[in-house]
Each structure stands twice: as C-alpha cells, then as structure tokens.
Amino acid sequence: MVATATALRVISCDDAHLIATSDRIGVLWWKGEVTVASVLCACTAVRDLVKQHPQNAGILAIMDDEVPMPSEPVRNAMGQLMREGVRGVHSVAVVGEGRIFHQTAVRSVVTGLLLVVRVPFLVKVFGTVDEACAWFSTVSPGPPVRMIARDARERLFGPGVTRSRF
C-alpha cells in the first residue's frame, strides 16, 4: 500500500519556519532563527489544535541544525508555549537535527524549560525526525506522523529535498 499525502494545514511558513497541523498533530519546524513572533504563532496553533483534539494532541517540534541558540525573549516565549498548551497535549517530540553539538544544545534548552515549566505530558528529545515519528507510533495511536513530517519538510524545504533524516 502506498502512503498518500496528508491534509497539512499550514498556519505560518517563511524561509525560517513552518507551523502546521494535520489531524491531531502540530508541526513546529524551524530551519532559521527562531523569533518571538513565530513562537507566539505556534502558541496559537497549539491552543487551536487542543480545542479540536482535547487530551489527544501531539506536537512534533523540529530544530534544524542551522537554528542558532534562542535568545532570552524567545526562550521566555517557548516557556509560554509550554505553559499555555499543556491542557490537552498528550505528547511532544522535540528533534534537534544535525551535528551532535546542536542536538546537545537543543536537549539543554528543552531540559531547562522543563525545569521551569512542569508539564503533565510526555516530552522526549530526538536526534532525527524518523526516531521521533517512531516514538509517536508507540505512545499514541493516530495519524501517520512520518507522512505528516514528510509533507511538512516538503513544504518548508521544497519538493525532493532529503535534508532531514527519515
């Protein structure tokens, strides 16, 4: 059976990020500098997703290896995203793609946020999108997260780009 494209609803997309939803999955993908505006847009998208799928929303957050460390205002906005989106979120997979140093930096930022903002949902950090998608299939049945991620990658990077590891 050939997997088909998902109904990806793009909320915001530019050269640096993509914020989209498909079924009960929110995709927050950054490939450039993370801005406060893009994080606040993600907050709105997560709130809307949770309204549509209470207690069953999943978030796939991807930081490409070219994303610089977030500024303090951006980290504060990320904390707001975690605080405001907690009710109804089931699981969050954060991906720090690329070099080991970048993966470690992403893990460090996520750990720091989790120390400040206690969340009642599953959060796990991965080195590849493929690992995150496989994890989603074990913690929560639902849509084909791998296909959602591929559609999001194609929208952000262009057709045929295989930069992200699937």
Q: What is the CATH number of the domain that holds 144?
A: 3.30.750.24
Confirm whether 72 is domain-assigned: yes
When pLDDT is cut at 50, 70 and 90, the band that residue 21 belongs to is very high
Residue scoring higher pLDDT (144 or 73) = 73
Tens of pLDDT, residues 92-130: 888 887 666 556 666 666 665 555 566 667 778 888 899
Confirm whether 103 is domain-assigned: yes
- Rounded to two decimals, the pTM is 0.82
Structure confidence at residue 107 (pLDDT): 61
When pLDDT is cut at 50, 70 and 90, the band that residue 78 belongs to is confident
Confirm whether 111 is domain-assigned: yes
User: In the chain, how many domains are there?
Assistant: 1
Tens of pLDDT, residues 26-59: 999 988 889 999 989 998 898 899 899 887 888 8
Confirm whether 164 is domain-assigned: no
CB 50, CB 84: distance < 8 Å: no
E strand map for the chain: 9-13, 17-22, 25-30, 57-63, 89-96, 122-126
Of 29-43, 58-72, 77-91, give the range with the top mean pLDDT: 29-43
Confirm whether 4 is domain-assigned: no
Q: How far is CA 27 from CA 13, 47, 95, 101, 115, in A?
A: 11, 13, 11, 23, 23
Q: How does the average pLDDT of the chain come out, rounded?
A: 80
Confirm whether 166 is domain-assigned: no
Structure confidence at residue 139 (pLDDT): 85
**Bridge-based pairing state of the strands 89-96 and 9-13:** unpaired
Is residue 163 over pLDDT 60? Answer: no
Place of tokens 């996520």: 110
Confirm whether 40 is domain-assigned: yes
- Can you give the residue range of the structural domain that contains 135? 9-157
Rounded CA-CA distance 9/117 in Å is: 28
Confirm whether 163 is domain-assigned: no
Angle of helix 145-157 relative to helix 129-139, nearest 10 degrees, comes to: 150
Is residue 4 over pLDDT 90? Answer: no
